Amino acid sequence: MQNQQEIKRLENTIQDLLDEAKKQGASAAEAGLSQENGLSVTARLGDVETIEHHCDQGLGITVYFGQRKGSASTTDFSQESLKETVSAACSIARYTSEDSFAGLPEKELLATEFPDLELNHPWSISTDEAIALAIECEDAARSYHAEISNSEGASVNTHQGIRVMGNSLGFLHGYASTRHSLSCSVLAQRGDSMQRDYWYTVSRNSAALEPPVEVGKKAAERALRRLEGRSLSTRQCPVLYSAETASGLLGSLIGAISGGNLYRKSSFLLGALDTQIFPEFIHIHEQPYLRGALGSAAYDGEGVATKTRDIVSDGILRSYVLSTYSARKLSLHSTGNAGGVHNLTITPGTFDYQEMLKQINTGLLVTELMGQGVNMVNGDYSRGAAGFWVENGEIQYPVEEITIAGNLKDMFKNIIAVGNDVDYRGNIRTGSILIERMSIAGE
């Protein structure tokens, strides 16, 4: 109930901002705000290390004078500051150019239905309880094996916030959401070899978090298995991206089919709509209405209704990822993706993790990627990697200090299998992905 009142109050703030913009002569305006409270505690070597109380707020407004626009934002919600923020935005709009593509979304695309997506699950955890959880998690990691030599600690984070957005077409909506996580990072040492790795669990509902002991054990296992890694000789071989690294591949896909990169002609998938970019068995869709999921939302950053839809089916690119502006630049309609995608999901295959290893037969399992090394304009891909060398479907030894390279266009086409070992911790949901052949550079 308290939430409802607070949302109402913040909706009024947004309405005041929009009214003020109108008063100052803007022909249209859109505004958004967020307010968030949170607690983070970290325990290290069995004792509390930091306690952080978070309290954030911010609001932003974009005003239009015909086809000219200006934006401003502030962390100060006082009446005086709101007025100043609006006038700063209006002042900027005097200097920007007429842009025939600029403006609010088409009214008929705005969301009108707001189902409860079950995003708000406050966690009534005291600071002492959070500390106890973090210690339990770290203890499980440190006591897992004698070679766990040091720790960067375990953390418990809980955040609760409200977001409101509105525009001068009459859209005004706010909702509350929560996000909780537990993470652990430890070091393993054997002789001169020292390695660090981590594990985390995140959810909108604390009841869905992995147990602290499991998180700690996984962090320890992951650090231990990396000890005494070696480089590889330069070669070509099959590469299996673990589920947590495979999401980055799909992230590159989204980058390449995002309106901003397309209208700037800086995408390697320019003009690829309705063409085969993956093998036929690949299906990728967006699921904005999953209950309680991290990427769920009934509307995007502009108030445009999100849709459950296919982005790739039978390996064919069916749709781009567009905001209002980029859609207009491309003579298309917004796909409800201002601010990104919502629970992007690749349909899992039939193999689990062990069976995926068998599918590699001999090749590289990648569990960590480093550096940028992705060129959106031409698809060139070359990144630092660490993982494991696999022979006959069995892990042989850890590998580090190598790079893996290819071109994303070829890599997408040469996917052999997608696992059912899906990582649900992010906005991109995928199992492990096996690519037939990539270039490995090493010693």
Q: Which 261-320 positions form the footprint of other proteins (CB under 8 A)?
A: 264-266
Q: How far apart are the first and last CA of the chain?
A: 62
Which of these segments, 21-29, 191-199, 247-255, 301-309, binds other proteins (CB under 8 A)? 191-199
Rounded distance, CA 272 to CA 318, Å?
A: 9
Could you say whether residue 143 binds other proteins (CB under 8 A)? no
**Minimum distance of other proteins from residue 408's CB (angstroms):** 11
Could you say whether residue 57 binds other proteins (CB under 8 A)? yes
Q: What share of the chain is helix, strand, coil (3-state, %, to 5)?
A: 25, 40, 35
> What tokens does 169 get?
């077409």
Rounded distance, CA 425 to CA 428, Å?
A: 8
| Residue 265 identity | K
Rounded distance, CA 33 to CA 314, Å?
A: 40
Which of these segments, 132-140, 301-309, 335-343, 376-384, binds other proteins (CB under 8 A)? 376-384
Could you say whether residue 106 binds other proteins (CB under 8 A)? no
Which of these segments, 111-119, 285-293, 299-307, 374-382, binds other proteins (CB under 8 A)? 374-382
**Minimum distance of other proteins from residue 130's CB (angstroms):** 12
Q: Which is nearer to other proteins, 29 or 305 (CB)?
A: 29
Residue 129 CB contacts under 8 Å (≥ 6 apart), including other chains: none
Residue 312 neighbours by CB distance under 10 Å: 22
**Minimum distance of other proteins from residue 147's CB (angstroms):** 14
Could you say whether residue 141 binds other proteins (CB under 8 A)? no
Could you say whether residue 194 binds other proteins (CB under 8 A)? yes
Could you say whether residue 341 binds other proteins (CB under 8 A)? no
> What tokens does 382 get?
């070359």
3-class DSSP assignment, residue 110:
strand
Give the burial class of 18: count Cβ atoms within 10 A of its Cβ; 0-12 exposed, 13-18 middle, 19 or more buried. Answer: buried
Q: Which is nearer to other proteins, 101 or 289 (CB)?
A: 101
Question: Scanning residues 396 to 415, which ones bind other proteins (CB under 8 A)?
Answer: 400-407
> What tokens does 304 get?
């445009």
Residue 268 is given by DSSP the state T
Question: Scanning residues 209 to 228, which ones bind other proteins (CB under 8 A)?
Answer: 226
**Minimum distance of other proteins from residue 443's CB (angstroms):** 5
Could you say whether residue 49 binds other proteins (CB under 8 A)? yes
Could you say whether residue 372 binds other proteins (CB under 8 A)? yes
Mark residues 64-103: x for contact with other proteins by CB under 8 A, - for none: -----xxxxxxxx----x--xx--xx-xxxxxxxxx----
Could you say whether residue 373 binds other proteins (CB under 8 A)? yes
Question: Scanning residues 412 to 441, which ones bind other proteins (CB under 8 A)?
Answer: 439-441
Residue 239 is given by DSSP the state E
Could you say whether residue 381 binds other proteins (CB under 8 A)? yes
Could you say whether residue 156 binds other proteins (CB under 8 A)? no
Task: Select the residue interacting with other proteins from 22, 54, 318, 333 (CB under 8 A).
Answer: 54
Q: Please, are residues 231 and 399 in contact by the beta-carbon 8 Å criterion?
A: yes
Q: What is the sign, positive or negative, of the torsion defined by CA atoms of 9, 73, 67, 339?
A: negative
Order of all β-strands in the sheet with 428-429: 316-317, 309-313, 284-286, 344-346, 428-429
Q: Which is nearer to other proteins, 115 or 271 (CB)?
A: 271
